[in-house]
């Protein structure tokens, strides 16, 4: 079994490799790794040109696994991403031509440009790790991770993801404009062509790492903490729809994974606190009055983190 120290070193090596191409937000790299170890999918949101594609490409490159990119467009059909049977004249039979969903890491670029039918083919792939082609099910690769990007600016020809689909993403991460120092470093670095990305680990390493994450210890008190956080979102008067049980499960799995990425075999409250916004905010639907007042899901979660304490079991008993 992978030790905490080995895990931390592995994470640092990957982060260093990604850092050769993507500058500025080591916290995002840590969250991508956490998503990978908890077998989750991630939605990256940000305006054009803030390095969404650059980050995902560097991430996949450092992992040494198969990588496919799908550019979503309004005319993209489900079969374009799942694959289809093509008639082979010579053999006089139908061959399966696998689509880009057959890969370890799938970059679904601008997912909100695809029509609903294609989005739901994507959804099946994400939730079931399989696709249906002409009524027949096919397993997808392992490890499997979808990294989708979307542009938050409402435009024509954009189909905003419905809540049900957002819930399938373990986390939503927001990429903003870089700080001035980061942007300056980027300008200087781009005078010379970037080096090719080196593969730091293999698919086998990732599978072992994922298994190790499942063994990370979480105390009963922290389980209760997770339950308190999710129920806060369900009871809040500004919230129309609180987070689903998929969110509590996500918090559990991701906090174990983050603990391991940071070199621990047990979860601490800070793991959960750090993940609360990326895992819960995108699943909450606010009341329209609250929305008009400018109250955001993130604020509700920050409020929950401030108000809810981790209650030690011995303290509860007394």
Ligand X SMILES: Nc1ncnc2c1ncn2[C@@H]1O[C@H](COP(=O)(O)OP(=O)(O)OP(=O)(O)O)[C@@H](O)[C@H]1O
Residues that bind ligand X (CB under 6 A): 22-24, 46, 48-54, 151, 178, 182, 186
From the list ligand X, Mg ion, none, which binds 278 (C-beta under 5 to 8 Å, kind-based)? none
**Minimum distance of Mg ion from residue 52's CB (angstroms):** 5
Pinpoint the alpha helices (H) of the chain: 4-18, 26-37, 52-63, 78-82, 116-128, 163-166, 180-189, 203-214, 220-235, 245-261, 269-280, 288-292, 297-307, 313-317
CB-nearer residue toward ligand X: 52 or 168: 52
**Minimum distance of ligand X from residue 178's CB (angstroms):** 5
Contact 50, 177 (CB under 8 A): yes
Among residues 35, 30, 6, 5, the alpha carbon closest in space to that of 16 is found at 30
Instruction: Answer left, alpha or beta for residue 223, where phi above 0 means left and psi between -120 and 50 means alpha.
Output: alpha
**Minimum distance of Mg ion from residue 113's CB (angstroms):** 12
Collect all residues with Cβ–Cβ distance below 8 Å to 22 and sequence separation of at least 6. Answer: 29, 51, 54, 55, 58
CB-nearer residue toward ligand X: 24 or 83: 24
Please give the Cα distance from 263 to 211 (Å, whole number). 15
From the list Mg ion, ligand X, none, which binds 49 (C-beta under 5 to 8 Å, kind-based)? ligand X
From the list Mg ion, ligand X, none, which binds 178 (C-beta under 5 to 8 Å, kind-based)? ligand X
From the list ligand X, Mg ion, none, which binds 23 (C-beta under 5 to 8 Å, kind-based)? ligand X
CB-nearer residue toward Mg ion: 7 or 53: 53
CB-nearer residue toward ligand X: 107 or 276: 107
**Minimum distance of ligand X from residue 155's CB (angstroms):** 12
List residues binding Mg ion (CB under 5 A): 52-53
From the list Mg ion, ligand X, none, which binds 268 (C-beta under 5 to 8 Å, kind-based)? none
Contact 95, 81 (CB under 8 A): no
**Minimum distance of ligand X from residue 34's CB (angstroms):** 20
Among residues 119, 82, 123, 86, the alpha carbon closest in space to that of 100 is found at 82
Please give the Cα distance from 251 to 257 (Å, whole number). 10
From the list ligand X, Mg ion, none, which binds 186 (C-beta under 5 to 8 Å, kind-based)? ligand X
Contact 224, 316 (CB under 8 A): no
From the list ligand X, Mg ion, none, which binds 22 (C-beta under 5 to 8 Å, kind-based)? ligand X
**Minimum distance of Mg ion from residue 149's CB (angstroms):** 6
CB-nearer residue toward Mg ion: 69 or 262: 69
CB-nearer residue toward Mg ion: 53 or 244: 53
Cβ neighbours around 93 below 10 Å, total: 9
Please give the Cα distance from 203 to 59 (Å, whole number). 13
CB-nearer residue toward ligand X: 53 or 210: 53
**Minimum distance of ligand X from residue 186's CB (angstroms):** 5
């Amino acid at each position: 079994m992978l030790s905490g120290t080995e895990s931390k070193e592995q994470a640092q090596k990957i982060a260093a490799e990604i850092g050769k191409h993507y500058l500025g937000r080591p916290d995002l790299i840590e969250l991508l790794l956490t998503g990978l170890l908890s077998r989750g999918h991630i939605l990256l949101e940000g305006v054009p040109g803030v390095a969404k594609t650059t980050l995902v490409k560097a991430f996949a490159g450092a992992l040494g696994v198969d990588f496919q990119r799908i550019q979503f467009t309004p005319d993209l059909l489900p079969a374009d991403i799942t694959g289809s049977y093509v008639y082979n004249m010579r053999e006089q039979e139908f061959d399966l031509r696998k689509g880009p969903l057959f890969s370890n890491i799938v970059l679904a670029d601008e997912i909100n440009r695809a029509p609903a039918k294609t989005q739901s083919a994507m959804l099946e792939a994400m939730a079931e790790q399989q696709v249906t082609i002409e009524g027949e099910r096919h397993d997808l690769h392992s490890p499997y991770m979808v990294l989708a990007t979307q542009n938050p600016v409402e435009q024509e020809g954009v189909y905003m993801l419905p809540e049900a689909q957002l819930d399938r993403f373990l986390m939503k991460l927001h990429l903003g404009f870089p700080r001035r120092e980061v942007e300056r470093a980027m300008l200087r670095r781009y005078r010379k062509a970037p080096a090719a990305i080196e593969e730091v680990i293999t698919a086998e390493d990732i599978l072992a790492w994922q298994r190790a994450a499942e063994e990370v210890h979480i105390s009963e008190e922290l389980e209760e903490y997770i339950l308190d956080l999710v129920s806060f979102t369900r009871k809040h008067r500004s919230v129309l729809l609180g987070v689903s049980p998929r969110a509590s499960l996500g918090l559990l799995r991701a906090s174990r994974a983050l603990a391991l990425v940071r070199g621990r075999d047990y979860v601490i409250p800070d793991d959960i606190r750090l993940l609360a916004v990326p895992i819960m905010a995108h699943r909450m639907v606010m009341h329209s009055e609250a929305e008009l007042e400018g109250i955001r899901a993130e604020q509700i979660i920050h409020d929950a983190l401030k108000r809810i304490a981790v209650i030690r079991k011995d303290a509860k008993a007394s």
